[in-house]
Each structure stands twice: as C-alpha cells, then as structure tokens.
Amino acid sequence: MNRVTGFLACLIFFSIIREPKPLPDYSLVLDQQPSAIGTTEDPQARANYENRLLVDPSTGQIPKDIRDRELRFAELLLSRQHRAGHHQRMAAQNYELAGPFNVGGRTRAISLDIRNENTILAGGVSGGIWKTTNGGTDWKRTSDPALRNSVTALNQDLRPGKQDIWYAGTGELLGNSARSTAAPYRGAGLFKSTDGGETWEALPGTIDNATPNQFSSQFQYIWAIETNQLNLTQDEVLVAAYGAILKSSDGGQTWGVALGQKLFDLPENTDLNESDAPFYTSLRKTPSGHFFAAMSSASSSNKLSPSAGFYFSATGDQWQQITPPGLAAYHERTVIGFAADESSVYFLTQSEEASLWKLNVTNIQNGILSGSWTNLTSNIPASGGEYGDFESQGGYNMLIEVHPQNPNLVFIGGTNLYRSTDGFSSTKNIKWIGGYSPENDASVYPGHYPDQHALLFYPSDEKRMISANDGGIRLTTNVLADSVSWKSLNNGYLTSQFYTIAQRLDKDTDEILGGMQDNGTYMRDALGENPSWNRILGGDGGYCAIAPNRDFVYVSFQNSQIYRLSLSSTFQLKSFARVDPIGGGEREGQGYLFINPFILDPTNASRMFLTGGDVIWRNENLLQVPGGNQKKTSVNWSEIKDTEQASGVYTAIDKARDQDILYAGIYSQSPTIVKVENASDPTRESVTFMSPTIFPENGHIACVTVNPENADHLIVVFSNYGIPSIFMTVDGGVSFSDISGNLEENPDGSGSGPSVRWAEIVPTTSGISVFVGTSTGLYSTTATNGGQTIWIKESEDKIGNAVITMIDYRDIDGRLVIATHGNGTFQSFLEDTRPFTNQHSPGEQLTSLQNYPNPFTNETMIRYSLPENGEVKIDLYDASGRFIRNLLWGPQYAGENRTIWDGTNNSGTRLKSGIYTYVLQFQGQQISKRMIYLPN
C-alpha cells in the first residue's frame, strides 16, 4: 500500500505491530502490518528489488519494448493445446482458477454506467479492466491480459447515442520520481471501447515510441479523463496527464495541449525526468460542464513548475488561474471535489504538509469565475495515534468528494476515509468511517481497507456509496450511518498481485497460502474457484509455508519479518511469535531482499533456513521461540559457518528431501551457488561455492529448485532479460548446462525471450517434468536437452500470458499451484506423477542421544528421534528433583530433532553449575538423561 514521494520527504512505515493482550481462551490479536515501498536505509526497496529481477545486466536497463516483444515471441512458441491439435502425444492438462475470489487489488479507476448503475467498470493497477452487470455479484475481465494495463482512469461518454464509448488511462505514478526504477509500471497511453467496455483498443496517437523503461511521453502517466457532454458535434475528451491537461476533439485520434506543456511526439531519446512540467495534474468536470484543474509546482527535475496552480475553464479551452494566495509555493498532488450545484469546490493538496481549500463560488459569467477562498487546513482529520491522522503517503492515496445531494456532506480519503457533515468547516462533525480501524492500531476497519483512491455515489439512493482502495472495491448501503458498515464487491475481481505461494504438503487438502503486494498474506482451505480466502497478516506478503498437520503457518512481510502463527479451523489467531533472527540482514549493502526467501526443512518443519543478505541462517527448533513476541529473536538461530560473503546477496534457497543438502543462490558479479552438505547438523556441515563460468555475469538468481528424489539434480533460474535463463546440473554442481532452449530468441539470451521467475521439478512415472513460471505464462518440458530443450506453453486459454511469480508442487496428489502478479492463482492436478518415497525412514520408537556438548558452559543441544509426528514435552530438573523449567512443549516431527538449553531458568536467569536432568515425553514414552552445566 505504501508509496514514497521522490521530492522532499520519504514517508516510511516501519514494521509496527502492537503487543497483543492475552485472553482467557488464548485467543490473541496480532495487528496487521502496513505495506511499504522501502525502508529508512533504502526508500525505494520495492522498486530496486523488482528492477534487479528484470534489468539486462549488460546495460542496467529493462530492454526497450520488451513487453510487446516478449508477447509476440510467446506467440511463436507452441502451446500444449496446439500440440494436441497436431496429434502429438500430449494431452491438454486441465488448469483451474484458484482465487482469491474475495480479494481485490489496488483500484484507482471505477465508474458507474450512466444507463444502469448495476453496470460498473473498474481498473486494477496491474490487473486490467473489469466489468460487472449485476452490481458486483461477479466480474469479468474485458481488457486483453497481454496488454500493459496499469489502469488509473476510466470515463464514459455521457451524450445520448454515444454512451457505449468509454476511455481508459494507464500509468501509475507511484508517488516517487518518474526516474524511479519502478519504470515497468508506466502506462501505455489511452484505450478506447465502443461497445460498452466489452473490448478495448489502444489509441495510436497516445502510444508514441515510449517503452516501460523510458520516460519520453506524458501519455505514460494518466491521472484523470473527462468527456464533454455539451459538445454534441465533436467527440471531445480531456485528459490529466503528466505535465498538462490534454484535449482531443476527435475521440482521441489527435491531441493538443489545453493547459500546461506539450510533452509527446518528442525525439526517442527524450528524458522527461529533466522536465520542469507539473509532476501531478488533476481534472474534474461538474454536471454543468465546467472544468476545474490543478497543476503541481513539483516537477521531476525538482525545479518549480511555471505552470503550477489551480484553474477553472467553462469550456476546456480557455483557463483562468484561481490559485488561493496562501497556497504553498511548493506543492505536489491535489485532488478536487465539488458540490453538484457548483456553490463550493474543494482542493485537497499535499505539499510538505497537507492543506485543504474551499472555493466559494459566487458567479460564473462569460466564462469567468468569481468567488472567495476559505482555508480549512486546520480541520483536516487528526484523530492522533499511529493511524488516526489524515495521511496521503506523499500523495499516493488521496481523494475528496462532496455528496451530490448534500453539499455539506464531504468525504476525505488518505490511508483512512473520513466523513464531515459540515463540509470540514470545523473538527466537531468528522467521523472516521474506513481504512484502518478507529481502534487506532494497524488493524483494518471492519469490511473496509486502507489507502483510499475513489468514491462513487448511486443516483438512485443517496445512502449507497462505493469505495475503491488498495483492497479493491467496497460498498456501503448507508454512508450516513453513525457506524458505517461495508461489504466487499471483490467477487471474482481478480486483480491481486502475488509475490509468493505455498500449499500444505503432507496431506491432499485444499489449503493454499499466498503473499501479495499491498494486501498481505491470505489463505484458503475450501474446494473450487470461489471459496473465500482469509487474511492472515498484513504488509507486502512475502515467503510463507504451512507446517505438517497445519500445526503452524509461517508468514512474512517486507524485509523478512517472519511470524509463526497457530490458527484455529476458522482462521482465528490462537498464538504467534516473531521468529526472524537478531542481526539478520543488517550488513550495509547486503541486507534482506524486499521479498526475502526462507524455507522450512522438508525433513523437519521445526527447522528453518533463511537467506540473511550476506549469510545463511539456520534455526534448530522454531517451537522454542517464545509466543507473543514481536521482536527479533536469538533463540536457536545461528549463522551457517563459512557461508558469509564479503560481497553479493543471497537471493534463493532450497533443500533436498532425500539427503541433508542445502543449495542457495548468490547475486553478484559472478553468480554463485552455495552447497551445504549436512546442512541440519552444525557439527558436520560442509560448504562448497560454485561459480560456473556458464552463468551470466551480474545475473539475478531468482530460484533454485532441487529434484525431490535426487539431491544432485538442481535447476537454477535467472530472472533478468537479455541473458540465458535456466541452468541445470545432474552431478551436484560439478557441471551445469544451459537448458533455456526455445524460451530464448538467441542462444546468448538476447532478444525477446521472457523473464523466467521460478521452476519446479516433478518426478513422473516415465521420468521428470519441469515447469517454469515466466513473464509470459507457464511452460513445461519432459525432456531437458541443453540448448535444444523444447518448452511447451501450458494453459494458454486460462493462465495465458500472466506474469507468474512462483509455483509450488505437492507430490502426494500431483497438485501444482501457480501464483500470478495481477491475475490471482491457478491450480492443476498433474497426471502420471510419482509420490516421493523416503529412503531414510525414522526408527520405530522414541530415542534420545546424550546432549552435546556435555559438560557445557554456554548452551547444549538435546538430540532425539521420533518415529512419527506428535507432541513432545521436555522438562528440566535440578539435582534435588526440583522443577526448573519447561524447554519445549508442542508438535515435533518424525526423524531427528534438536532442542537447545542455554543454562537459564524460565525467567532467563543463569543457573548455578551442577547436574541437571531433562525428561522427554512422547506418546506415553519417557526418557531422562543427565547434563553437567559448568558456566564460566
């Protein structure tokens, strides 16, 4: 949700979660974490993370026109359906949508059809254009998934006979400089529909030669669109774009500048980051056809724009500057709201501080407006606390609207949504009605969501209102109520942007867990396409995992804050603990990734491995981390010796199931694979570094995946454009071969091949299948053959060209789950798969080895082996038999386990030297052993 302004200040949200209050039924409240674009050390962490994934290492840039080129290239690759049609032995695999049916993504554009208010068009910032004809009961996507549909504005032609015409604008200016490395989120100009929003075509005059990585046209960022219903002879359209209000009189075929600077049809090498044009523009049209506009003094070059100010126009041609005399010289984004009778117009402006201005209109004659200004800044909502004040996050989330039937009923949106019944003329009549909870913590207002972008009022009912925000679309049936209730309309509005996905692996259940940009982490456990997903944690959802038996769910958000959660069958939080290590990711220049990897050991889910920037961390037993903790912990964490790097960053990690071998990838000038043998045993671990010359220099390793049946069989995925993407070893890293095959246009990786993000190796009855997720969809092969490998496109009809960020495979029933960035998740049950058979079965009874070391001075490790999963209790007694503390009580897993004692009692006080006894209990069995503690 968070964004950062690139001008004077960076508005950063740290990871703040309030201390929970234990309740008698052990139900705990874990407040949700806001998402963020960065940290204090790196305010563009998200953008830098995403940029590193994609840039061509040889140029440091995302290749020109790459989205268009990779889509055209993808058309040349055979799909599974086409091969089946050519009578080759390849049956079409069935894929189905897996949701989240009830979770929407960031929505800046939404509009009711003037002919039928049950018809609504909405646009997701990365999910395209969607339409409902039944008031939001269900939605269908009407824009082509292959297009660059970062939708930010929608508008309908209101003239009789023209109401099937709609316009859509693209390009989200993220609240930071257009120089930002988040350039892939730039738009592709304007789109037009002539059939009521059912299909869309790009307006050629707005495309120019601009590419996602190049800022050379103002059509790359569209703030608002208005049509002129008073002009019955021309198709007049006005657009608030970067640097200007643009106008077309022929339905968008040709354009001129109505206000501001012309910044299109420029030389290809133009860089608008050097422009002094207004960075932010705003445009609103009143029912009588008058226009109000705002132009920021902030520019991308950090110079004050000469076009800055507030403006009025009776026709959209001639503009009158109406800027209030008290407006700050430096101002950024402004949003505008007006009374239906034009008696008052509100301007909410973000500069170093937010300001609120009311224009009292007394007369409009001969195209000239007369009126007076009232400064209402002191009445901007300020409820105090962490989340109570109005917060636009640098202009990222802002709105102001006046109720069409009541000019005194005014709404302001920032992170929260507020309502005033006296037009914000005082602070006495302001109500907090959405966003974060009025409890003033990081929890969410019931039924609503933070970061407000748009409001819609129903003509037929003054009480009904739609709210669009970072959580999609919400409806209230009584916006006038003292306590406003909200209902989600995200019923198949699939615009969620997944970073990660995981599933329960020990049983053939329907559970799926996924981390999303802006929306946190959600989980589902029911059949079909349309079950509700349940929100588990906020923030920008990161890596996640489900332990066997669903004993625990592990979730994370940006910058590797990791939580162990215990959930009820109805997803109520029973207990939690923050489990990421003290000292992790803190080395300057080698910190955590924005979305940072961890894995649970596939042989024992109590053990975690974490990429810590410059080193790999291991936790011996997560269950020992105390519950209720919201700070980093040192409990059971240690760095795996010899994995520390003086340069480079760990970016990927995986572990074998058949052997105790861990692999990790390092992003550096010479990309490296680290192999840790005996990875779970700190007394026997052995580390090997492999930097094959075949690996592309400065490539970003996005994924390493190990064959579950063969620890020597490893696939390494590079996500950058312009380099070979997929490498494989079958001898544990002694040698690697490039198996990118037909996914590259040229053998050296140059050309129009997609960005590859993830790989999964699937053992089958006849060998293996390999699935890869890319920026143009899902591909598979059953025969890796070096540069001759043929990758076949999967699910062309459903997944299509969606950007796939992660895949997870479950061998017990062959389920493959797929996460996309902007189009939800998919699943398929693969045929002819082979379940994993563990060749190292645990013993038939409980056993325990002597603790090591013994005697000990600082800490000792208690080792024990379980014949099956189950609850373990370990208590500690002194030489007199007096109970000292409980070391562990909870689920442990079949095979070898380790519990650590640091010589302290329950209160953390160091004990005296002496002989102590631990008693281990499991399913009616009991083992006790003595330990000698000799502190320094």
The predicted pLDDT at position 91 comes to: 60
The gap between the terminal CA atoms of the chain, to the nearest Å, is 50
Q: Does the pLDDT value for residue 554 go beyond 50?
A: yes
The predicted pLDDT at position 187 comes to: 77
Q: Does the pLDDT value for residue 702 go beyond 70?
A: yes
**Cβ atoms of 167 and 237 closer than 8 Å:** yes
The predicted pLDDT at position 148 comes to: 64
Q: How many residues belong to the chain?
A: 936
Q: Which residues contact 364 (CB under 8 A, 6 or more apart)?
A: 290, 314, 342, 370
Contacts for 640-644 with beta carbons within 8 Å, 24 or more apart? 640/615, 640/616, 640/676, 640/679, 640/682, 640/685, 640/687, 641/682, 641/685, 641/687, 642/687, 643/615, 643/616, 643/674, 643/676, 643/687, 644/614, 644/615
Q: Which residues contact 584 (CB under 8 A, 6 or more apart)?
A: 560, 592, 610, 612, 613, 617, 632, 637
Q: Does the pLDDT value for residue 431 go beyond 90?
A: yes
Q: Strand 291-295's sheet: what is its strand order? A: 281-285, 291-295, 309-313, 320-321
**Cβ atoms of 330 and 279 closer than 8 Å:** no
What does the pLDDT look like over 749-775, one tens digit per residue? Answer: 999 999 999 999 999 999 999 999 999
The predicted pLDDT at position 30 comes to: 55
Q: Does the pLDDT value for residue 819 go beyond 60?
A: yes
State the residue for tokens 């005996």: 678
User: What is the set of domains in the chain, with CATH numbers?
Assistant: 66-72+497-625+635-829 (2.130.10.10), 107-321 (2.130.10.10), 329-487 (2.130.10.10), 847-933 (2.60.40.4070)
Mean pLDDT of the chain: 90
Q: Strand 116-124's sheet: what is its strand order? A: 107-113, 116-124, 128-132, 140-141
How far apart are the C-alpha atoms of 723 and 725, rounded to whole Å?
A: 6
Range from 13-27, 564-578, 605-619 that averages highest in pLDDT: 605-619
What does the pLDDT look like over 359-380, one tens digit per residue? Answer: 999 999 999 999 999 999 999 9
What does the pLDDT look like over 626-664, one tens digit per residue? Answer: 999 899 999 999 999 999 999 999 999 999 999 999 999
Q: Does the pLDDT value for residue 440 go beyond 70?
A: yes
3-state DSSP assignment of residue 639 = strand
For the ranges 123-132, 305-314, 724-733, the lowest mean pLDDT is seen at 123-132
What number is the average pLDDT over the span 785-808?
A: 94
How far apart are the C-alpha atoms of 665 and 715, rounded to whole Å?
A: 11
**Cβ atoms of 107 and 123 closer than 8 Å:** yes
Instruction: Choose among 644, 643, 663: nearest CA to 652.
Output: 663
Instruction: Choose among 220, 302, 316, 307: nearest CA to 264.
Output: 220
**Higher-confidence position of 66 and 914:** 914
Contacts for 55-61 with beta carbons within 8 Å, 24 or more apart? 55/720, 55/721, 56/720, 56/721, 56/722, 56/723, 57/696, 57/697, 57/698, 57/699, 57/720, 57/722, 57/723, 58/722, 58/723, 59/722, 61/213
Label the pairing between strands 686-690 and 541-546. unpaired
How far apart are the C-alpha atoms of 458 and 893, rounded to whole Å?
A: 56
The predicted pLDDT at position 895 comes to: 92
The predicted pLDDT at position 82 comes to: 57
For the ranges 204-208, 276-280, 604-608, 618-622, the lowest mean pLDDT is seen at 204-208
How far apart are the C-alpha atoms of 156 and 237, rounded to whole Å?
A: 10
Q: Does the pLDDT value for residue 88 go beyond 60?
A: no
**Cβ atoms of 286 and 338 closer than 8 Å:** yes
What does the pLDDT look like over 655-688, one tens digit per residue? Answer: 999 999 999 999 999 999 999 999 999 999 999 9
State which amino acid sits at residue 389: D
Token couple for 352: 């170093």
What number is the average pLDDT over the span 916-930?
A: 97
Q: Does the pLDDT value for residue 213 go beyond 60?
A: no
What number is the average pLDDT over the span 462-468?
A: 98
The predicted pLDDT at position 19 comes to: 26
The predicted pLDDT at position 215 comes to: 77
> In percent, how much of the chain has pLDDT > 90?
78
